[in-house]
Amino acid sequence: EAQVTQNPRYLITVTGKKLTVTCSQNMNHEYMSWYRQDPGLGLRQIYYSMNVEVTDKGDVPEGYKVSRKEKRNFPLILESPSPNQTSLYFCASSFYPTLPGQGSEKLFFGSGTQLSVL
Amino acid sequence: KQEVTQIPAALSVPEGENLVLNCSFTDSAIYNLQWFRQDPGKGLTSLLLIQSSQREQTSGRLNASLDKSSGRSTLYIAASQPGDSATYLCAVMNEGAQKLVFGQGTRLTINP
């Protein structure tokens, strides 16, 4: 089954304790991205990656790191979490055609990770 | 900077009605536009994707239209059902950029 898998689903941690949220997709997608969703602010992009070893900042990258060493994995790293990073996080992936008609860029989302930083 | 607006924020209609959800964006230089559905506590599911060169896309009871020049898109849902109750979000990707900008969504309730 085609899917984007995020782990963990729920995470409670304390300020300053490094954590990693994993994301894996089995669709051989080039494009992967992380978002956070907050009430009243909607979905905001944190980082994205066009392919292996190619990453770039989204709109709210401060306090986050990512890596793309393999095509299927795109972990989100919080080196020193703070309470303002309490949020619902989503990973997503899509095909990225280089020529028209090669495929659809429909975005597939994971089920989300609810993070609470105390 | 691209801004995406969805009005209304919430909508409640009786089962069986046809309805239209609206999405507007400030920068018409878009690469594509997607409509998503989000159920409470769940991730987003892509419903329809419209390329900038297209005017509309259809899937079952859903039809999405795009008017780039006026910065508008609509999602038409025919013969609504209680199972259509969810939050619907639109998102645009600008030309030359790989960032997706989301609207805040319309929370739709279909009453039996």
Q: Any residues with CB less than 8 A from the CB of A98 and at least 6 apart, and which?
A: none
Average pLDDT taken over every residue of chain A: 91
Measured distance between the N- and C-terminal CA atoms of chain B, rounded to whole angstroms: 41
Name the pLDDT band for B6 (thresholds 50, 70, 90). Answer: very high
For residue B47, list chain A residues with Cβ-Cβ distance below 8 A.
Answer: none
Query: Could you tell me if A48 and A61 are in contact, meaning their C-beta atoms sit under 8 angstroms apart?
Result: no
Nearest to A112 among B32, B43, B91 (CB): B43
Nearest to B104 among A31, A42, A110 (CB): A42
Helix count and strand count (H, E) for chain A: 0, 11
Q: Residues A7-20: what's their mean pLDDT?
A: 96
For residue B93, list chain A residues with Cβ-Cβ distance below 8 A.
Answer: 105
Interface of B with A in 50-69 (CB under 8 A): none
Whether pLDDT at A98 is above 60: no
Contact assignment for B49 to A106 by CB distance below 8 Å: yes
Q: What are the pLDDT digits (tens) for B55-69?
A: 999 999 999 999 999
A74-78, B31-35, B80-84: the lowest-pLDDT one: B31-35
DSSP 8-state code for residue A32: E
Query: Could you tell me if A48 and A55 are in contact, meaning their C-beta atoms sit under 8 angstroms apart?
Result: yes
A113-117 vs A42-51, strand pairing mode: unpaired
**Is A74 an interface residue toward B (CB < 8 Å)?**
no
Helix count and strand count (H, E) for chain B: 0, 11
Name the pLDDT band for B95 (thresholds 50, 70, 90). Answer: confident
Whether pLDDT at B73 is above 70: yes
Whether pLDDT at B94 is above 60: yes
Whether pLDDT at B100 is above 90: no
Q: Cα-flanking dihedrals φ and ψ of residue B62, to 5°? A: -105, 140
Whether pLDDT at B44 is above 70: yes
Whether pLDDT at A115 is above 60: yes
Per-position DSSP letters for B55-89, written without gaps between them: SEEEETTEEEEEETTTTEEEEEE-S--GGG-EEEE
B91 vs A52, A68, A115, A116, B31, CA distance in Å? 25, 24, 24, 26, 11
For A74, the token pair is: 């795109």
pLDDT of residue A103: 54
Whether pLDDT at A100 is above 70: no
Q: What are the pLDDT digits (tens) for A56-88?
A: 999 899 999 999 999 999 999 999 999 999 999
Q: What are the pLDDT digits (tens) for B17-27?
A: 999 999 999 99
Q: Exposed, middle or buried: residue B48 (CB in 10 Å: 0-12, 13-18, 19+)? A: buried
pLDDT of residue A106: 86
